[in-house]
Amino acid sequence: MPKLPIGRKRPWVPERKAQGRRTEETKFYQSSAWRRLRNAFIKDNPLCVECHAKGIVSPANVVDHIVPIRKGGAELNIKNLQSLCSPCHNRKSGREAHQ
């Protein structure tokens, strides 16, 4: 079977679209301002707020924007942040994706 030279496109394979976060969001989440705020916030708020509301003590590992940035939420305002565990963050993100 003949082989294509490295780097050549295969016209019979459809091009894939980029997935994941948009580039503007990626730049923000990699900024030093966000990382400093995130680290300070999770240090001050180490428990998941959704689990705590259910009477469960669970460590938080995600700092989430209550109102998403793409929906007008403030990027670096502490009042727009909450600590969540990964399962709670995934549920919240899933609900937001279907709104």
Domain assignment of residue 48, yes or no = yes
Q: How far is CA 85 from CA 60, 63, 70, 76, in A?
A: 4, 9, 22, 20
> Domain for residue 63, yes or no?
yes
Question: According to the model, what pLDDT value does residue 14 have?
Answer: 76
CB atoms within 10 A of CB 81: 20
Per-residue pLDDT averaged across 65-79, rounded? 92
Residue 90 lies in a domain: yes
* pLDDT reported for residue 27: 86
**pLDDT of 45 higher than 80:** yes
Residue-wise pLDDT for 1-40, tens only, equals: 566 566 667 677 777 766 665 667 778 889 999 999 999 9
Q: CA triplet 74, 77, 78: central angle to 5 degrees?
A: 135
Judged by phi (left if over 0) then psi (alpha if -120 to 50, else beta), residue 6 lies in beta
Domain containing 62 equals: 26-97
Could you count the other beta carbons within 10 Å of the beta carbon of residue 69? 14
> Is 80 part of any domain?
yes
Residue 76's alpha-carbon distances to 17, 38, 70, 72, 73, in angstroms, are 30, 9, 13, 12, 9
Per-residue pLDDT, 5: 60
Please tell me the total number of residues recorded for the chain in this structure: 99
19 domain-assigned: no
Amino acid in the structure at residue 8:
R
Task: Please count the structural domains in the chain.
Answer: 1
β-pairing, 62-65 vs 81-84, is antiparallel
